[in-house]
């Protein structure tokens, strides 16, 4: 497959590259993976590990493993150990950079005293409920705490006494003094410290005040000189506090910055610790490493190779949009890795006895069977005992075969893999009518599976010798929860009732466990496996990839886990089924797939007002804006939409009018301002720009008189937005004067066509969309100085001849 996507850049790597290029961090790249040791890591964490450690590797930096253990009530050393095992197993190494947030408590405390001294933090003695109420709501501002204006001395005294253990839990908290009316709820005086008299697994009872995430995390990053603090998208609202805390605790640029990405959501995987914990506690799974779980430990136990998880991470990529990855993609990654590694052996999961009637009792021959098919470049074979009585898969025989069935049927032939072609002569049934045995004859001329004389034998099936097969327990895994495919929080379920507003209701996750998520089968396996190292991963031919369960199957017991089923394109009777079900009698459960939103439902036929509500209100309150709105339309001929945007605030209009003073083309200047200038703001307001309306007007004038193309003018505008300056001087400095010389342009055009012979041919064959490519190339070569219209005309002329 293509590696393009796997080595490709993503928006976070591009930011790292930009910071490297600008020298912002002096060439350093430091990332970190910061789990809280309160549970096992899952596949979502695994992709985060790949991202953080991968970036460090790629850019010659380092990645820290830091345990974010700031909450004494949930954390446990068992998880510290397990998390390290998981990361190492995935193939990553933090070297000497192992850290614990709790080791920073003293430094964090000092920073907090600093905030208090600077008047930026205060001790709030309201009860929890009062603090919560005071915060306001999503639509209403909060109110100041009555303790908000305590003196520095009082705050310091109280905070020190909080630390010394003088107060019970909940008596006081330390809060940042930010803004109780902030639109971002998290900025409404966030709680920085709380009192908790609890035993910390690492710090014991040294502390009874504990810092909260928003205060602690950014400091941890800063203490460790982290450059790029990567987290998932739900922490986006927390970025403001991250920056606020570092800003006010003395960390100057270059300091760490937070970057968010969407993280992984995997179909059929239960990904929250909150959901997994109860299942483990209730004994509905065998532990955090139950192979039906999506924890790293579970995949490891199941037999998934770590390369497959890394491969999945590369395939899925990195973005900010909500992402739910199909399970099939993970299955593909697993098979892709295992295909070239796993020796093929035979195992019958649902046995049916076959007697070869033209073989004498006690017949035995050892066949030499290669471990790998010819398309896998690996050596090796084993002896395979063949005798008079064999097991075959029950699903490989059909008395009344559906259309397209290529296996054994009454009177039909099939090849036994590595052995002989057999014919089914007789079907033996019990009183109940169930098939108990097949009586077949073999063709001795087909040893090794050869079909001499151009004979076509379509089907090949796997088998084992009854007398030599070993019994094994085989475990097949399916989705743990019923209806887990819809991506909803597995601990809640929407009732959908109109009476209760469809609010999600807590539901006992243990009731949703699918009893068929684990199917245990007594299988017959060829004897060679008993001589293999127990950690061998096999392909049981035609059935799937398996290995011995590391917990229950490594001593004398043969217990195999199915890692993943084979991909199968066989659809019995034209219907839909999976290879696993046809091979092992696993019932089919329809898979759900869910798209994002209902796209068809967005069709609107009612014309919508193209005028912003907020701006209309602003005009109602301000006569100047109101006057401008009508004047811009009636006197200057602007569209309603442009007039609307230009009367959002007075400043926009002032900017516009200043530009007009330099270049009297209201419609043109408005277009520049409304689309291009606003496009460059990127969170800033017009007042933040290092240039004003006069510069915009001058630039527009340069375009109007043909000194510079509009395309090049956009580059000038971008430069203006960065550093200001005089448009005319910038045009000269950047070498963007419009290209008036047609000979020169002609040369560029010829050069472009010569550089793209294949595309020229394609264009001439009818793909006229390619004109965009050619014009684009001409513009690129000329740095935007060429007149695109002239260039286009020239190109079309040349392409026609």
Partner RNA sequence: UGGCCCGUCGUCUAAUGGCAGGACACCGGUCUUUGGAACCGGCGGUGGUGGUUCGAAUCCACCCGGGCCAACCA
Residue 11 interacts with RNA (CB under 7 A): yes or no:
yes
Residues within window 241-260 making contact with RNA, judged by CB under 7 A: none
Taking the complex as a whole, the smallest distance from the CB of residue 683 to RNA amounts, in Å, to 6
Instruction: Identify any residues that bridge with 668 across adjacent strands, giving them in sequence order.
Output: none
- Strand spans (E) along 86-206: 98-100, 121-124, 173-176, 191-195
Which one of the spans 377-385, 500-508, 591-599, 623-631 is the region binding RNA (CB under 7 A)?
Answer: 591-599
Residues 300 and 306: their CA atoms lie apart, in Å, by: 8
In the window 80-139, what residues touch RNA (CB under 7 A)? Answer: 126-128, 131-132, 135-139
Closer of 32 and 194 to RNA (Cβ): 194
Q: Which parts of 32-91 interact with RNA (CB under 7 A)?
A: 34, 36, 68, 70-71, 74
Q: How far is the CB of 255 from RNA (least distance, A)?
A: 20
Burial class (CB in 10 A: 0-12, 13-18, 19+), 741: exposed
Q: Which of 683, 687, 735, 766 binds RNA (CB under 7 A)?
A: 683
Q: How far apart are CA 408 and CA 395, in angstroms?
A: 9
Sketch the per residue contact string, 314 through 353, with RNA: x for CB under 7 A, - otherwise: -xxxxxxxxxxxx-xx-xx--xx--x----x---------
Closer CB to RNA, 170 or 497, in the complex: 170
Task: Give least dist CB 68 to RNA, A.
Answer: 3
Contact (Cβ atoms closer than 8 angstroms) between residue 759 and residue 711:
no
* Rounded-to-integer distance, Cα 303 and Cα 301, Å: 5
Of 82-90, 432-440, 503-511, 770-778, the window that binds RNA (rule: CB under 7 A) is 770-778
Residues 66, 71, 76, 81, Cα dihedral to 10°? -10
Shortest Cβ 596–RNA spacing (Å): 5
**For residues 581-617, b (16+ Cβ closer than 10 Å) or e, as one string?**
bbbbebeebeeeeeeeeeeeeeeeeeeeeeeeeebee
Least separation, in Å, of the C-beta of 525 and RNA? 15
Give the residue with the Cβ less far from RNA, 227 or 325: 325
Q: Cα angle at 521 between 520 and 522, to 5 degrees?
A: 130
* Per-residue x/- track, 282-321, RNA (CB under 7 A): ---------------------------------xxxxxxx
Q: Which stretch binds RNA (CB under 7 A): 154-162, 208-216, 242-250, 745-753?
A: 208-216
Given its phi and psi angles, is residue 549 left (phi above 0), alpha (psi -120 to 50 degrees) or beta?
A: beta
- Minimum CB separation of residue 329 from RNA in Å reads 4
Give, as ranges, the residues between 257 and 276 that touch RNA (CB under 7 A): 262
Element of type H or E holding 460: strand 460-461
Please tell me whether residue 570 binds RNA under the rule CB under 7 A.
yes
Angle between helices 105-117 and 213-223 (to 10 degrees): 110
Backbone angles phi, psi at 662, to 5 degrees: -90, -30
**From 147-155, 503-511, 742-750, 783-791, span contacting RNA (CB under 7 A):** 783-791
With beta carbons less than 8 A apart as the criterion, state whether 412 and 423 touch.
yes
3-state secondary structure 704-730: HCCCCCHHHHHHHHHHHHHHCCCHHHH
Segment contacting RNA (CB under 7 A): 158-166, 168-176, 353-361, 508-516? 168-176
C-beta closer to RNA: residue 2 or 430? 2
Q: Specify the residue, 254 or 459, whose C-beta has the smaller distance to RNA.
A: 459
Contact between 678 and RNA by CB under 7 A: the answer reads yes
CB of 319 to RNA, least distance (A): 3
- Residue in 229, 539, 561, 707 binding RNA, rule: CB under 7 A: 539
C-alpha separations of 799 from 53, 760, 777, 786 in Å = 50, 7, 15, 18
* Shorter beta-carbon distance to RNA: residue 214 or 290: 214
Q: Which stretch binds RNA (CB under 7 A): 104-112, 351-359, 601-609, 688-696?
A: 601-609
Return the residues of window 351-410 that contact RNA according to CB under 7 A.
Answer: 372-373, 375-376, 404-407
Site residues (CB under 7 A) for RNA, limited to 472-531: none
Binds RNA (CB under 7 A): choice among 603, 623, 754, 765 = 603
Give me the phi and psi of 434, to 5 degrees please: -80, 140
Instruction: For residue 208, give Cα distances in angstroms to 126, 193, 216.
Output: 19, 10, 15
Give per-residue burial for 345-357: e unless 16+ CB within 10 Å, then b: bbbbbbbbbbbbe
Classify residue 493 as left (phi > 0), alpha (psi -120 to 50) or beta.
beta
Q: Reduced to 3 states, what is the DSSP secondary structure of residue 107? A: helix
Q: Is 461 in the site for RNA (CB under 7 A)?
A: yes
Which range in 455-463, 499-507, 730-738, 743-751 contacts RNA by CB under 7 A? 455-463
- What is the signed CA dihedral for 121, 125, 130, 131, rounded to 10 degrees? 20
**Which of 22, 377, 555, 596 is in the footprint of RNA by CB under 7 A?**
596
450 lines the binding site for RNA (CB under 7 A): yes
**Residues of span 610-649 touching RNA by CB under 7 A:** 610-615, 639, 641-642, 644-645
Neighbouring C-alpha atoms within 13 Å toward the C-beta of 86: 32
DSSP secondary structure string, 605-629?
A: -SPPP-S-HHHHHHHHH-HHHHHHH
Can you tell me which of 199, 236, 620, 797 binds RNA, judged by CB under 7 A?
236
Using the rule CB under 7 A, is 567 a contact of RNA?
yes
Nearer to RNA by Cβ, of 348 and 513: the residue is 348
Site for RNA in 729-768 (CB under 7 A): 759
Is residue 369 helix, strand or coil?
strand
Size of the site for RNA (CB under 7 A): 147
Our CB check for RNA shows the closer of 472 and 638 to be 638
Characterise 705 by phi-psi region: left (phi > 0), alpha (psi -120 to 50), beta (else): alpha
Residue 767 CB-half CA count within 13 A: 10
DSSP annotation of 92 reads -
Considering only residues 657, 676, 726, 737, which one is a binding residue for RNA as defined by CB under 7 A?
676
Longest alpha-carbon distance in the chain: 108
Q: Shortest approach of RNA to residue 265 CB, angstroms?
A: 8
DSSP for 521-565 reads EEEEE-GGGGGS-TT-EEEETTTEEEEE-TTTSSSS--EEEEEEE
* 218 vs 233: CA distance, rounded Å: 16
Q: Which is nearer to RNA, 513 or 716 (CB)?
A: 716
CB of 482 to RNA, least distance (A): 21
Positions in 708-727 near RNA (CB under 7 A): 709-711, 714
Nearer to RNA, 5 or 164 (CB): 5
Identified binder of RNA from the candidate list 58, 84, 184, 492, rule CB under 7 A: 184
Question: Which listed range, 193-201, 431-439, 546-554, 726-734, lies at the site for RNA (CB under 7 A)?
Answer: 193-201
Task: Give whichever of 513 and 753 is closer to RNA, judged by the CB atom.
Answer: 753
- 441: which strand partners? 423
Q: Which of 202, 262, 201, 200 is nearest to 230 (CA)?
A: 262
Least CB distance from residue 737 to RNA, whole Å?
16
Please identify, using beta-carbon distances, which residue of 97 and 759 lies nearer to RNA.
759
Among the residue ranges 148-156, 465-473, 517-525, 563-571, the one whose residues contact RNA (CB under 7 A): 563-571
User: Does 602 sit near RNA (CB under 7 A)?
Assistant: yes
């Amino acid at each position: 497959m293509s590696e393009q996507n796997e080595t490709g850049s993503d928006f976070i790597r591009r930011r790292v590259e930009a910071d490297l290029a600008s020298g912002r961090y002096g060439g350093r790249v430091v990332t970190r993976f910061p789990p809280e040791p309160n549970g096992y890591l899952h596949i979502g964490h695994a992709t985060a590990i790949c991202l953080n450690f991968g970036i460090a590797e790629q850019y010659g930096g380092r990645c820290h493993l830091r345990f974010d253990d700031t909450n004494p009530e949930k954390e446990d050393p068992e998880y510290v150990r397990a998390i390290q095992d998981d990361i190492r197993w995935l193939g990553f190494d933090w070297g000497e950079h192992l850290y614990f947030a709790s080791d920073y408590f003293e430094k964090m405390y000092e920073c907090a005293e600093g905030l208090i001294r600077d008047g930026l933090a205060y001790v709030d003695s309201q009860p929890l409920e009062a603090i919560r109420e005071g915060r306001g709501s999503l639509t209403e501002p909060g109110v100041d705490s009555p303790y908000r204006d305590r003196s520095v001395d009082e705050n310091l005294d109280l905070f020190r006494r909080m630390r010394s253990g003088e107060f019970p839990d909940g008596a006081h908290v330390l809060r940042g003094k930010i803004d109780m009316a902030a639109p971002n709820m998290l900025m409404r005086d966030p709680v920085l410290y709380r009192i908790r008299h609890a035993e910390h697994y690492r710090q014991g009872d040294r502390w009874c005040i504990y810092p909260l995430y928003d205060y602690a995390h950014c400091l941890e990053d800063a203490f460790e000189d982290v450059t790029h603090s990567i987290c998932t998208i739900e922490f986006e609202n927390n970025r403001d506090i991250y920056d606020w805390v570092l800003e006010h605790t003395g960390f100057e640029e270059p300091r760490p910055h937070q970057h968010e990405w969407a993280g992984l959501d995997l179909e059929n995987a239960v990904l929250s610790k909150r959901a997994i914990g109860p299942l483990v506690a209730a004994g509905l799974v065998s532990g955090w490493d139950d192979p039906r779980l999506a924890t790293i430990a579970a995949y490891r136990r199941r037999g998934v190779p770590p390369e497959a998880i890394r491969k999945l991470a590369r395939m899925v990529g990195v973005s900010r949009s909500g992402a739910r990855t199909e399970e099939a993609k993970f299955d593909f990654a697993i098979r892709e890795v295992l295909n070239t590694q796993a020796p093929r052996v035979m195992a019958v999961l649902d046995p049916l006895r076959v007697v070869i009637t033209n073989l004498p009792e006690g017949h035995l021959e050892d066949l030499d069977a290669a471990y790998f098919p010819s398309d896998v470049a690996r050596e090796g074979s084993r002896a395979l005992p063949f005798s008079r009585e064999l097991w075959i898969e029950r699903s490989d025989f059909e008395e009344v075969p559906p259309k397209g069935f290529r296996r054994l049927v009454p009177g039909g032939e099939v090849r036994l893999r590595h052995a002989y072609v057999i014919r089914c002569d007789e079907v033996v049934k019990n009183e109940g009518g169930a098939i108990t045995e097949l009586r077949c004859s073999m063709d001795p001329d087909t040893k090794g599976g050869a079909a001499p004389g151009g004979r076509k034998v379509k089907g090949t099936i796997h088998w084992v010798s009854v007398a030599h097969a070993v019994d094994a327990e085989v475990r097949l895994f399916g989705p743990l929860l019923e209806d887990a495919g819809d991506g909803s929080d597995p601990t809640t379920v929407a009732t959908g009732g109109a009476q209760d507003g469809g609010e999600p209701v807590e539901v006992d996750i243990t009731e949703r466990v699918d009893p068929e998520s684990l199917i245990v089968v007594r299988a017959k396996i060829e004897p060679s496996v008993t001589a293999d190292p127990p950690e061998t991963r096999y392909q049981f031919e035609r059935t799937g990839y398996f290995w011995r369960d590391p917990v229950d199957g490594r001593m004398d017991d043969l217990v195999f886990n199915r890692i993943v089923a084979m991909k199968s394109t066989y659809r019995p009777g034209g219907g839909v089924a999976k290879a696993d079900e046809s091979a092992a009698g696993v019932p089919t459960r329809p898979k759900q797939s869910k798209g994002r939103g209902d796209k068809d439902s967005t069709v609107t036929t009612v014309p919508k007002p193209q005028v912003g509500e907020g701006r209309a209100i602003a005009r109602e309150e301000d006569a100047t804006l109101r006057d401008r709105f009508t004047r811009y339309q009636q006197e200057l001929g602007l569209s309603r939409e442009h007039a609307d945007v230009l009367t959002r605030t007075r400043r926009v209009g002032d900017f516009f009018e200043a530009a007009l003073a330099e270049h009297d083309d209201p419609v043109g200047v408005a277009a520049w301002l409304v689309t291009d200038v606003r496009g460059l703001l990127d969170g800033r307001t017009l007042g933040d720009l290092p240039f004003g309306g006069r510069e915009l007007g001058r630039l527009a004038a340069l375009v109007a008189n043909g000194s510079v193309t509009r395309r090049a003018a956009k580059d000038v505008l971008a430069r203006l937005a960065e550093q200001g300056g005089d448009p005319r001087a910038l045009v000269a400095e950047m070498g963007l004067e419009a290209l008036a010389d047609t000979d020169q342009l002609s040369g560029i055009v010829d050069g472009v066509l010569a550089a793209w012979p294949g595309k020229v041919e394609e264009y001439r064959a009818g793909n006229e969309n390619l004109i965009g490519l050619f014009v684009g190339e001409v513009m690129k070569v000329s740095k935007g100085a060429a007149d695109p219209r002239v260039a286009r005309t020239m190109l079309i002329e040349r392409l026609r001849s």
